Structure 1
Amino acid sequence: MDLGLRSRYAGRGAGAEPGGAHAGLLLLRARNHPAGGHDDADRAGVVGRGGRGRQPRSRQPSGGIVMSIALSESGFDSITVDVVRHKLDGIAGEMQQTLLRSSFSPIVKEGLDASASLFTVDGETLAQACAIPVHLGTMIPVVERILKVFPLATMSPEDAYVMNEPYLGGTHLPDIAVVKPIFANGRPVAIAAAMTHHQDVGGMAPGSVPTNAIEIYQEGLRIPPLQLLSTGRMNETLVALIRQNVRIPDTVMGDLNAQIAACNVGARRIGELVERLGQNLVPKLFAILLQRSEERTREALRLIPDGTYRYVDYNDNDGIELDKQIRIEVAVTIKDGDFHCDFTGSSEQVRGPFNCVPSGSLAAACFAIRAVTDPDIPTNAGCFRPISLHLPEGSIVNPVEPAPVNARTATIKRIAGTILGALRPVLPDRIPADSCGEMLAVMFGGKRADGRLFVTGELIAGGSGAGPRSDGVDVIETDVTNCMNLSAEAMEMEAPIRIHQMSLRKDSGGAGRQRGGLGLVKEYEILEGEVRFTHRGERHFCAAMGAYGGEPGAMAVSTIHRTTGAVEIIPSKLVTTLHAGDRVTIETAGGGGNGPVAARDPAAARTDIRNGKISADVSTV
């Protein structure tokens, strides 16, 4: 599959049909899916570089909303444009706070695993909250799919739509998106969207991230694009279906209602903006914002020497074949402001759930292009127009249905890491050594002594790679993830679990002139009954590599200490049963070091020893 973001906007002049067969970004093709209406040949390369949907190139930046006036003749001064830009960012931020503060599940209200965004009526990213990059990127094809199934002309102000289907543009089943059209004076002016990682969506394991799944049908409830609200009324048939298929229905519906509330906030604030600026001026301002971001992004890319740059990294295994590593290979081509990523050479799709559908690969590329360009550029669809992707069909980055995908985050993180790794030689002052590259997921589910079901879990970070001028950051989410670990109190309130330890992992950062960030040590004890436990880890067998002479970070280690005295080493991925008194100890990976070890400032090494970050016997002092 070739994916070209710029091709989405090409040919959008007179006679162009928004949402047409080849106008849409990332029209994810799912074989034999009733909502698809396409054949397999289309799936392999609709909008790729040189593909069938590619229009003749133009050096003029294109816009999703066609303007008949040039930017210099628009009549908008720079201050007005910037004020509107920050207003949109503020609206997205208010949506995000509503989403987090209204949610029921600890993975959202404590772990912050949810995101809000605004789109134009054509499905182009308009503004994003500071949230989860993998969500923000994958909401692009989600909104496009909703608009394809439910054309804008059929929508009304109080409607809302929902989906989580990975093979139609979603990411994995726990990530459910809610999409709401925004109307002003009876006309659509924008779209609000919110995506939440739900604590459980059914399937074979509590938490719905089973590392031993071998097909998507085992992973949970699949929701194609459906109408959730019709003129303000909830689709009770759909609600009943959802409640019947999840383990904690009140929590799931609470989080869905929080998503609706967030979208309502966005709709109200955009309505106020239209009332202030005028119905006709707002879409022109939106178009200017996107055009400016595209121009500035291309300018930044032209500062990178043209060329093709390569990198390879690995995931430990697929949870099924534990001795078989997963290869992620990328060739990044920078050419006159274009940003093309070719994943030829990556592993074929795997039996286990670490396959990444194209929306996830897109999200990784969207993150990477923002990481290597000016951070002051407003993040919107204009930033992503230079991107095109080649994703070989049947590979780890473009699997064929019904391949399982629930653990795709590990692969998306590695995709993002390889793109940055490829560009490190030409951006040595910008790109750090490899990070831990894991968002270790632990999920616990079972029954309390009183018979009540519980499902809880958290996402645990490791260390970031060392930068050219500073040490890596300890225990921090990097690249496409941006979650928080749960506090001990939050987890202990949700389940019969006690947290015995949470501390930095000494000596886990890769040595170098700049030291890699440290991983985390965390210990859980099961207090009662039987608990189903899922462990999804990375960097247990493939360390985060150092840069320019820096050493790799320490690999992750996780163990189960049974009440029988037996100690079991977790092989990166595991689904098992724990019993009262069993303990699980997690030690996450460290980031790679940067620069020669001998060049480390002795004072910095002594400070690390004094702070307990490294042992005296591993110091160069």
Structure 2
Amino acid sequence: MSTVTTATRFDPITLEVLRNRMEIIADEMQAAMIRSAFSTIIKEGGDCGVAIFDADGGLIAHANALPANLGILNSSVARILRDFPADTMDEGDAYCFNDPYEGGTHIPDVAIVVPIIHEGRTVALSAVIAHQQDFGGMTLGSLPPDSTEIFQEGLILPPTRLIHRGEWNREILNIILKNIRLPDKTMGDFRAELAAGDVGRRRFLETVRDYGLETVQSYLAELNDRAETQARARISEIPDGVYSFEDFLDSDGIDLDIRRKIACTVTVAGSEMTFDFEGTDPQLRGAANSAISGAISCCYYVAHCLYGEGVPNNAGCYRPLTVKVPKGTILNPEHPAALNSRTMTVLRAVDTAFGSLMRVIPERLRASSGGMEGVTFAGRRPDGGAYVYLELFAAGMGARPTKDGVDYVECDTTNMLNTPVEALELNYPVRVHRLELRTDGGGAGKYRGGTGLVKEFEVLDDTTEISHRGDRFATQPWGLYGGEPGASWETIVTTAEGQVTRIPSRKRFMLKKGDRMECSTAGGGGYGDPLERDPEAVARDVHDRKVSREAARSSYGVVLDDDGAVDADATAATRQDLARIRGAADWVFDRGAALGRQA
């Protein structure tokens, strides 16, 4: 770390200007990626991430976009540099990579890295990762929840020079395009990644032109050191100790009735913090495993929540962190285990990491959020082509120590956008009949968990394949300090003939024309005793249909008259009765109830 004496050599204004300039470069790259992309999942959903690295693979700045990519591009860039060292790169080169077992995430996430050359030497790297709508494998969309090995999930790319001195590597490109179902979309998205990478390249070189390479590099090194100092200061505020928690996945996609455990122990020692996932269940037969990069991104995200927004997102802020993940477990499987459903697994890892720290710093964290779900609609078009649409559902955010959770929002490591109904119906044979907030979705508490939504689709094509990947269908997002758990996820299919089927969290199935699928997303857990919630806030929730009259009485003890106003006397009596029945609240709401059908 830099000493105080060394730090005085740096002009504070220039330091802050360069810090913000790097972050703005990354944000501009992200905007260029989204505005240039062809696929709905990127241009509408924002499922992509960008970053700038130094020539050694050290993170300079990461866009404020998708926290799931924190640490992901780090490992992808490091792996590319092993095969293609910076001093061998040329002007006009671009490198691609997606191998989950070598530093990637899952096969659809393809990273592209562009070298930044100054006076004939690579001085930095511009990196982009984006979810491709299809990248081969056994299903349209490359996300089979029932896969049992990675070879069923799509085309695996080791570090590859995709472009050399401005010329496409046609042999490699042809192999890619021959193994995917949407080559036009993929080429458009590849070009969008290259455009975003070029934005980073040009803006970084402009900075070098304005300040000089030596100044830029020395100031960026100082920003790393200062980020480390700030991060260590925030960790030091947490009492030393060893803190543990565990949570459960619904299933692995094959054995649908067996819950799978993820365990995390956080050790705080002075200014350092270790995340250890010892005790996590062995790797799974199905696709709910996650490459180790997922556990790393989870821990980086949790650390950033603890640091606060004042700490730069660069390599320095990660130096105080250690992540340990036993080999052969859900979060670090042995090749060739399947792992395309890794997002929901990473979200459960976030819950365990947060849960580990809840006892010691409850004022800085929140109850469990509802997570997310990815449902792919895919089929063949009359001209022989294919279509793939991935619906990225959000849930409710967990309640906070002083505020309600946010309703229906991507949170934790996901930060993607809603696809507008108009964009969905314009481009795909799907009609949306209903889209509304879910009543009684959020867990009751002094501060209510955010609620999810209900969205109903009708299939207009003759046959549509659904790849349904979710979690929290058999468990519930836990509440804290008397707060109740949020509602579980629920998907119900009603065929054109009226047959009703409840869908588990991970399943692949077919729908035909006229079939409907209703998806109800989970709510976040509540925080604090529901009987302490302001009755007027409960009345507003009932008016907004976020809470039913029945739940207002049974969970909050609030009685409303026919006009929706609070009946003060009846509320006082009801709350007194409920308080006698419930007794004292534990720090996590009734673990047996929160884990529900896991028991």
* TM-score, normalised by the number of residues in structure 2: 0.91
- Which among 68, 76, 81 is matched to residue 15 of structure 2? 81
User: How many Å separate the matches in 2 of 1:413 and 1:217?
Assistant: 24
Query: 1:402 aligns to what SS in structure 2?
Result: coil
Contact kept? 2:70, 2:301, Cα under 8 Å? no
Aligned to 1:517: 450
Contact kept? 1:497, 1:526, Cα under 8 Å? yes
Structure 1, residues 580-608: CA drift from partner, whole Å, max 9, x if none?
Answer: 00111100111000001111110100110
Query: 1:332 aligns to what SS in structure 2?
Result: strand
Structure 1, residues 408-428: CA drift from partner, whole Å, max 9, x if none?
Answer: 111111111211111111211
- Which among 265, 286, 289 is matched to residue 331 of structure 1? 265
Contact kept? 1:297, 1:374, Cα under 8 Å? no
Structure 1, residues 270-314: CA drift from partner, whole Å, max 9, x if none?
Answer: 101001111222211110011100010001100100111111111
Is residue 503 of structure 1 aligned with residue 436 of structure 2? yes
User: How many Å separate the matches in 2 of 1:124 and 1:325?
Assistant: 38
Q: RMSD between aligned alpha carbons?
A: 1.2
Contact kept? 1:460, 1:484, Cα under 8 Å? no
- Which among 473, 482, 497 is matched to residue 549 of structure 1? 482
Is residue 421 of structure 1 aligned with residue 322 of structure 2? no
Aligned to 2:535: 602
- Which among 467, 471, 483 is matched to residue 534 of structure 1? 467
The alpha-carbon deviation at position 71 of structure 1 amounts to 6.1
Aligned to 1:274: 208
Q: Give the direction of change, closer, same or farther, for the CA distance of 1:74–1:147 in structure 2 (3 Å limit).
A: farther
The alpha-carbon deviation at position 70 of structure 1 amounts to 7.6
Query: 2:70 aligns to what SS in structure 1?
Result: helix
Aligned to 2:421: 488
The alpha-carbon deviation at position 127 of structure 1 amounts to 0.5
Aligned to 1:17: none
Further displaced range: 441-450 or 161-170: 441-450
The alpha-carbon deviation at position 77 of structure 1 amounts to 1.1
The alpha-carbon deviation at position 74 of structure 1 amounts to 6.3
Give the letter aligned to residue 100 of structure 2: P
Contact kept? 1:116, 1:136, Cα under 8 Å? no
Aligned to 1:193: 127
Structure 1, residues 525-550: CA drift from partner, whole Å, max 9, x if none?
Answer: 11121111111111101100100000
Query: 2:71 aligns to what SS in structure 1?
Result: helix
Q: Give the direction of change, closer, same or farther, for the CA distance of 1:594–1:125 in structure 2 (3 Å limit).
A: same
User: How many Å separate the matches in 1 of 2:321 and 2:216?
Assistant: 26
Give the letter aligned to residue 310 of structure 2: D
The residue correspondences of 1:336-415 to structure 2 (distance < 5 A) are: 336-415=270-349
Query: 1:382 aligns to what SS in structure 2?
Result: helix
Q: Which runs of 5+ in 2 are unaligned?
A: 559-599
The alpha-carbon deviation at position 189 of structure 1 amounts to 1.6
Moved over 4 A (4+): none
Further displaced range: 428-437 or 74-83: 74-83
Aligned residues: 554
User: How many Å separate the matches in 2 of 1:519 and 1:206?
Assistant: 28
User: How many Å separate the matches in 2 of 1:137 and 1:73?
Assistant: 27
Aligned to 2:253: 319
Query: 2:510 aligns to what SS in structure 1?
Result: strand
The alpha-carbon deviation at position 211 of structure 1 amounts to 0.3
Structure 1, residues 101-134: CA drift from partner, whole Å, max 9, x if none?
Answer: 0000000000010111111111111101111111
Q: Give the direction of change, closer, same or farther, for the CA distance of 1:528–1:380 in structure 2 (3 Å limit).
A: same
Aligned to 2:50: 116
Is residue 574 of structure 1 aligned with residue 476 of structure 2? no
Percent identity for Structure 1 against Structure 2: 43
Further displaced range: 159-168 or 442-451: 442-451
Contact kept? 2:40, 2:389, Cα under 8 Å? yes
Give the letter aligned to residue 505 of structure 2: S
Aligned to 1:105: 39
Q: Give the direction of change, closer, same or farther, for the CA distance of 1:203–1:616 in structure 2 (3 Å limit).
A: same
Structure 1, residues 25-77: CA drift from partner, whole Å, max 9, x if none?
Answer: xxxxxxxxxxxxxxxxxxxxxxxxxxxxxxxxxxxx38xxxxxx986266321
Query: 1:501 aligns to what SS in structure 2?
Result: strand
More helix by share: 2
Query: 1:426 aligns to what SS in structure 2?
Result: coil
Contact kept? 2:147, 2:153, Cα under 8 Å? yes
Query: 1:429 aligns to what SS in structure 2?
Result: helix
Contact kept? 1:198, 1:252, Cα under 8 Å? yes
Query: 2:302 aligns to what SS in structure 1?
Result: helix
The alpha-carbon deviation at position 447 of structure 1 amounts to 1.8
Contact kept? 1:550, 1:592, Cα under 8 Å? yes
Give the letter aligned to residue 266 of structure 1: G
The alpha-carbon deviation at position 491 of structure 1 amounts to 1.2
Give the letter aligned to residue 106 of structure 1: T
The alpha-carbon deviation at position 452 of structure 1 amounts to 3.4
Aligned to 1:477: 410
User: How many Å separate the matches in 1 of 2:8 and 2:93?
Assistant: 33
Aligned to 2:521: 588
Aligned to 2:373: 440
- Which among 86, 93, 99 is matched to residue 165 of structure 1? 99
Contact kept? 1:448, 1:529, Cα under 8 Å? no
Contact kept? 1:447, 1:529, Cα under 8 Å? no
Aligned to 1:45: none
Contact kept? 2:109, 2:130, Cα under 8 Å? yes
Q: Which runs of 5+ in 1 are unaligned?
A: 1-60, 63-68
Aligned to 1:141: 75
User: How many Å separate the matches in 2 of 1:347 and 1:485?
Assistant: 33
